[in-house]
Amino acid sequence: MKVKRATHREAEVSINQFGPHRFGVLAALVFSQVVFWVSLGRSTEAPPAPATPKKPVTDTYQGVLVAEDYRWLEDYKNPEVRNWSEAQNQLTRAFLDKLPGREQIQKRLKGIYGAQSASYFGLQYRRGTLFALKFQPPKEQPFLVTLASADDPASEQVVVNPNTLNPKGTTAIDFYSPSLDGKLVAVSLSEGGSEDGTVHVYEVSSGKELSDIIPRVNYPTAGGDVAWNPDGSGFYYTRYPQGSERSKEDINFYQQVWFHKLGTPAGEDVYVIGKEFPRIAEIQLETTDDGGYLLVTVSNGDGGEYAHYLLDPSGKWTEITRFADWITRASLGPDGALSMLSLKDSPRGKILRLPLENPVLEKASVFIAEDAELVIEHFVPTANRLYVIDQVGGPSEIRVFDHEGKLLSPVELAPVSSVGQVLRMGGDEVLISSSTYLTPTAWYQFNPPTAVARRTALFETSPADFSDCEVVREFATSKDGAKVPVNIIRLKGTKLNGKNPTLLTGYGGYGISLRPNFSNARRVWLEQGGVWVIANLRGGGEYGEAWHKAGNLTKKQNVFDDFAACAQYLIKAGYTNPAKLVIEGGSNGGLLMGAALTQHPDLFAAVVSHVGVYDMLRVELDPNGAFNVTEFGTVKDPEQFKALYAYSPYHHVKDKTAYPAVFLLTGENDGRVNPANSRKMAARLQAATGSKHPILLWTSRSGHGIGSSLSEKISRSADVFAFMFDQLGVPYLDRKTHLQSTEVELK
């Protein structure tokens, strides 16, 4: 599902980051007698699956009878379902733990993560103080710190540390919001990956917690947010229904904005706005630097429709845009204007500007016109500049304009790189985070007078060396002729002999672009001679809203056709063959895995799918599923039902089909995708498969992946890599032992 608000990374649980791999300059020595191998003969016999009773149920959709046998697995409160799930875990654990190499892989991952530097992300700036979330392995969770500047890490002070609040590592920061003077900070904390966040307030200078505790501010369905008032005496916040305000079915819907005054009970908080918002509203809050104006952005579920409301200093509300206006972003600048990204008649985006004193959309002027080549993804207004972050099919670019709309010198970035965040500091200075597939994230300071992006002290280093690797961008031709980018990470000198172990991943949804990203764990795959491929599929935003719309609702099948075309391209180009090709995805990318598996079971050797959606006819009945109707469609609409039923993975598993090896992972606390999807899909595949390849299901005690502890991520990554290597028949090379053995031989 779409990530709503997550100021922290999904790390290796995210689709694009899961496990880069590596082979390195040792390739020539792979078959040397001095190489230490952990033999991984491919498992050909699937372990016996737990008995899964069939309890047929039939529904009627648009006059079509649809039967299924595993509806009963949806009820996780049923002891029979829990026992079945635990039996599946035992089966999976027994299979994975016996794989030669699994312990060595986990040890390798621990070594990589243990030696990596600290990373800083989710930065915010308040009157001379820099706030950041810091991730410092081997600590389990990111924690909140302040810095005097990006060039002075020694000035760091810890404000809130979930690792000390809960040594088990299961408490996570959902988001944080400092007061405008930087003296206080509101922090949403949740447990066990649930994203069910309660806001706590802390004094920044001492880290002391105040008495103010606000429940039900954040949840997976609509996310959550906080914005402070001018004098720091209170804050606006997103609030879900409490007590008996709504029925049980609506308890995680109807998000509204309320106001909390510090030092008063949460029960005395005051309603601000939201009663007229839709059931599936998702709200974000922003104020001007002085707190005089409050901007409320409301999205209509996850399909890309937004409305904007402005509260001025006099207390007057103005509805500036409606869903039909296709204003997808808006931001309050320090220059007294509201900047907006419009997709109306401009699928690649144009930027409008509107004075705050007269916020009438019809009076907005076009500030940056649509570009025929670039897609506007985001923008950041400063005192005298506008920084525009563009998408170019996956990689990012940054243009800089003055307030007359004149294009200035651009920000120079590395080739095939991404922009993670642009943070406005004082004046026109900004901090920019950027990374590539081969280099870790670094924060750069950019000041227009110098027109130079200078790397600050906040840069990451990695023990994983990618200097022997390269990235190439190639294009596959989809079923209807669309050209689909494929980003290929490979060792220099990789031979296109059709024999390389290759991992293909993708997403294709919500207008989300898969940008270049760095992952330490990717080295584990590459050092075994693997090729790592990320596909920029339709449904994403890499080429604008037209690219997104070509892969959602009734056109979702284009996403699956694009992915299959990428797999076929890799085979035809000589990178790999079906016996050496594994695919992996998560969430909406898990749906992609299910569709690829059921539509092309002979195209892959193995499929790994995290927290996926597989039953497209019942997904809208789940709380978060309802938010996705604007992206996926609904069975209540005849044409949308037809499209959903045509590709719904669960309904297209066919008996006696020789399915490849499948590894489904889910979390029992997942509030974004109902874990029942994975249970039902596993049961159906286990009953139907005509091959002897394993069909495995693992249910963790975590959630969708956001907020998972470091040790949980490492353990799951080790499981996935061991499974992949086993199914592709790739022996795992213990590099450390190999180097020691090589040194002895050379002596």
Catalytic residues: 587, 704
DSSP percent split of the chain into helix, strand, coil, nearest 5: 25, 35, 45
Q: How far apart, in Å, are the Cα atoms of 482 and each of 98, 479, 538, 559, 671?
A: 44, 7, 9, 11, 35
Q: Is 581:634 a contact under the CB 8 Å cutoff?
A: no
Q: Distance between CA 304 and CA 325 in Å, rounded?
A: 11
DSSP state of 48: P
Q: Where do the H-state alpha helices sit in 116-253?
A: 162-165
Question: Which residues make Cβ contacts (< 8 Å) with residue 701, sequence separation at least 6?
Answer: 192, 667, 668, 669
Tokens of 263: 């030092």
Q: Counting Cβ atoms within 10 Å, is residue 259 exposed (0-12), middle (13-18) or buried (19+)?
A: middle
Q: Distance between CA 413 and CA 138 in Å, rounded?
A: 31
List of E strands, 15-74: 37-38, 57-61, 64-68
Q: Is 21:720 a contact under the CB 8 Å cutoff?
A: no
Q: What DSSP string runs through 670-712? A: -SSS-THHHHHHHHHHHHHB-S-S-EEEEEESS-SSTT--HHH
Q: Which residues pair with 668 in a beta bridge?
A: none
List of E strands, 96-225: 119-126, 129-135, 143-147, 157-160, 171-178, 184-191, 197-203, 209-218
CA contacts within 13 A on the Cβ side of 262: 17
